[in-house]
């Protein structure tokens, strides 16, 4: 079987383009979402705290 080798410059340019695209998306997110961003972030924080509480209860049950 013949192995297909990707030249190193192609891989690095691909990662560079992905980095640029993600930076543009991260910069545009507050503009695009506006006030909804606050609601989304607060919901994510609430869900994260619920998850941490569930993990804590599970660990306490395992350790006791």
**Does any domain span residue 23?**
yes
**Does any domain span residue 44?**
yes
Structural domain containing residue 25:
8-63
**Does any domain span residue 15?**
yes
pLDDT at 3 over 90: no
pLDDT at 4: 63
- Radius of gyration over every alpha carbon of the chain, rounded to an integer in angstroms: 21
Does pTM surpass 0.75? no
**Does any domain span residue 1?**
no
Q: Is the Cβ–Cβ distance between 30 and 37 less than 8 Å?
A: yes
CA distance 40 to 27: 16
pLDDT at 30: 85
**Does any domain span residue 32?**
yes
Q: How many domains does the chain divide into?
A: 1
Could you read off the pLDDT of 9-47 as tens digits, one per residue? 677 888 889 999 999 998 988 888 888 888 888 999 999
Confidence of residue 58 (pLDDT cuts 50, 70, 90): very high
């Amino acid at each position: 079987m013949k192995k297909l080798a990707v030249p190193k410059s192609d891989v690095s340019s691909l990662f560079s383009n992905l980095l640029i695209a993600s930076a543009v998306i991260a910069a545009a997110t507050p503009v695009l979402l506006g006030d909804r961003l606050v609601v989304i972030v607060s919901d994510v924080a609430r869900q994260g705290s619920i998850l941490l509480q569930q993990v804590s209860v599970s660990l306490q049950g395992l350790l006791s």
